[in-house]
A = this chain, B = another copy of it.
């Protein structure tokens, strides 16, 4: 909860965007915690943070847990942060048990998972695993035109004494604890979800170009109104995608010149489309370009796909390890598909990976009202500790 106060909002939520002063302050707090319990601290070229508990085999690839501490602008206290805090608590529990693990156990804080300042997100895990070129990441700009590379250098400069590690070092396993961000575990009354995989998603940007005009003089029939054309496109997509299990979101919508008495000449909007079935997702995503083209009216349109994530399944041995750990503790658990994307999506292509979910009140997330039961979070943390200890032994 001390972490949640950094970037805390009036409505009890969190605004802690990647590489901002707030996120830097949160990094400082985590480093203090690591120092207090004797963990070594590392970073890398993309400013991921690592907190390491040494094992008896110091050179063995570590077992890693963690998540992210950046948030949405009006985000909650648990999304991301829980996975990092749970890592600290799990390691403390292991330390207190007196058993020294064979392999090192580490907590990682991935840089910019949310992608609300620099979009798309998952920059830390994608750079680490090599799934997006570093050059591309560094040039992404925020709404104020600040490049990722500038914000990154500023952040790294704040911590000049932390040792730098190379990107992509080998890991024995990666286990991410996270809140479900959906209503299923709460409805089932089950405190622990063993995540089977992650629903795929496709993300687009659509740029609509019309022409400016005077709101009082330009006849309607002569207008090239980019706003009206964008509305037609989104309306057509809503209709076409109105089928079971689809999630279709336009979260970003920027109009220019965006003044009351000028017909809008430009609109840039985002499309985020998700479906648990990979084939359906492919088909729906492929329809977007055509639907925009058919509904562009007198304007021009450009559709760009900026990120695609296939649906994926985590390996059985990791799922079994988590489930067995819960069973040994006498804790009920169920398999669950993740509807949201996580850094674990990238790590899946780097090392054996899995996730553990905690229930989330009414499934509300990416919202200041996000909430979880402390007892559920403690339960997931216990399962995480046993899982990490098993994997590191």
Contact = CB atoms under 8 A, between A and B. Distances in A.
Given A260-B272, A261-B251, A201 B216 contact: yes
Contacts of A218: 182, 247, 363, 365
A72 B364 CA distance: 41
Contact of A213 (B215, B219, B364): B364
Interface residues of A, number: 65
Contacts of A217: 180-182, 247, 339-340, 363, 365
A366 B182 contact: no
B339 A262 contact: no
A260 B366 contact: no
Contact of A272 (B199, B215, B341): B215
B365 A116 contact: no
Interface stretch (A29-37, A48-56, A227-235): A227-235
A134 interface: no
A294 B366 CA distance: 28
Contact of A216 (B181, B242, B255): B181
A264 interface: yes
A368 B120 CA distance: 33
A246 interface: yes
A257 interface: yes
Interface of A: 72-74, 114-116, 119-121, 180-182, 199, 201, 203, 211-220, 222, 225, 227-228, 231, 234-235, 238, 242, 246-255, 257-265, 270, 272, 274, 339-341, 363-368
16 contacts: A72-B259, A74-B212, A116-B260, A119-B260, A180-B217, A182-B214, A199-B216, A213-B365, A214-B339, A216-B339, A218-B365, A227-B234, A249-B263, A251-B257, A251-B261, A253-B264
Across the A-B interface, the 7 shortest Cβ-Cβ residue pairs: A215-B249, A182-B217, A260-B270, A116-B259, A216-B340, A212-B367, A217-B339
